[in-house]
Amino acid sequence: MSSSPTNVAHQFDDAVQQRAASTLGMWVFLVTEMMMFGGLFAAYVLYRSMYAEGFAEASNHLDAMVGAMNTLVLLGSSLTMALAVRSAQLGARAGTVAGLLATIVLGCVFLGVKAYEYGHKFEEHLVPGPFFIFAGSQAKPAELFFSLYFAMTGLHALHMVIGVAVLGTLTWMAARNRFSADYHTPVEIGGLYWHFVDIVWIYLFPLLYLLGRH
Amino acid sequence: MSHATSPHSTALATLILVFLALVGLTGLTVWVAYFDLGAWSTPVALFIATSKALLVVVIFMEMRFGQPITWLAAVSGLLFVALLIGLTMADVVSRGWLGVPGR
């Protein structure tokens, strides 16, 4: 099957140009995503520079080992995503579906662990607001830290939920034989999104969980 | 021409090696966090995180096959974030430098 004309929209010369345009478009979207998360990272840098001690103390109330295990789960999901893309490029439908399903499962495990962590924070009165309790002189900076913790990990988790929905759609399309070695751009584009969300967590993990360990 | 739309695909062994490297770097960043590196702890953590991010971008996101204009878009994102954080901090840090009448 040569690159079938039905897969190339009429504004493109050929499949190569179409794929390059899709990739570029996705990266431009990811730049806007970098800016959205960038605003929260800027707030984090600013307040951490002002309240370094309080941030380190508050960070120790997060479980670094749970965070590290969840990091490994997410890295594993990036591997299965890359394997799904590879299978799609080789035109292997079963491999694509299996890779996407594994990615969805690992993504859901990550979200489950996140929900468990959030639950613990409620029990420990570490959720900012009227019920926030933090012993010592660093209560206000610690509340600021946990505001940023919930905003950053919450926005990240929202991206994961959207990612799971995207991957579900891609799995359904792959199972219905919509992709081939000649046309599988949606799987690649979905992969770019998933890997981006992984990279955000790669930065969130040390910045939130590992501040005051020494 | 099945190679036309996807000029390259990454070898299985490469993907698994990258994953193992990412796992190793995660272990490393946790391990070094338990040492008191003083002012160096954050630069070290960010260096390890950026190494991991580069592995994901270059191999998993296939940027090593990426066109120059795609690289330009990606790097522009870093530039915008650097401007956002840099100018914010430049304002905060320099607030006390000049005496403001009436304050």
> Does B91 reach chain A within 8 Å, measured CB to CB?
no
Residue type, A159: H
Contact B57 A91 (CB under 8 A): no
Contact B10 A182 (CB under 8 A): no
Residue type, A121: K
Render pLDDT for B17-40 as a digit per residue (tens, 0 to 9).
999 999 999 999 999 999 988 889
pLDDT at A58 over 70: yes
Render pLDDT for A158-177 as a digit per residue (tens, 0 to 9).
999 999 999 999 999 999 99
Asked if B52 contacts B25 with a C-beta cutoff of 8 angstroms, the reply is yes
ipTM: 0.92
pLDDT at A192 over 90: yes
Whole-angstrom Cα distance, residue B11 to residue A208? 34
Binning pLDDT at 50, 70 and 90, where does residue A65 land?
Answer: very high
Whole-angstrom Cα distance, residue B48 to residue B25? 7
Binning pLDDT at 50, 70 and 90, where does residue A213 land?
Answer: confident
pLDDT at B49 over 70: yes
Cα B59 to Cα A82, B19, B56, distances in angstroms: 9, 10, 6
CA dihedral A189, A190, A194, A199 (to 10 degrees): 10
pLDDT at A3 over 90: no
Q: What is the mean pLDDT of residues A129-144?
A: 93
Cα B68 to Cα A82, A115, A193, B75, distances in angstroms: 22, 40, 20, 10
C-alpha A113: how far from its chain's center? 14
> Does A105 reach chain B within 8 Å, measured CB to CB?
no
Closest CA to A197 of A36, A25, A20: A36
pLDDT at B1 over 50: no
What pLDDT score was predicted for residue A89?
95
To the nearest whole percent, how much of chain A has pLDDT over 90? 90
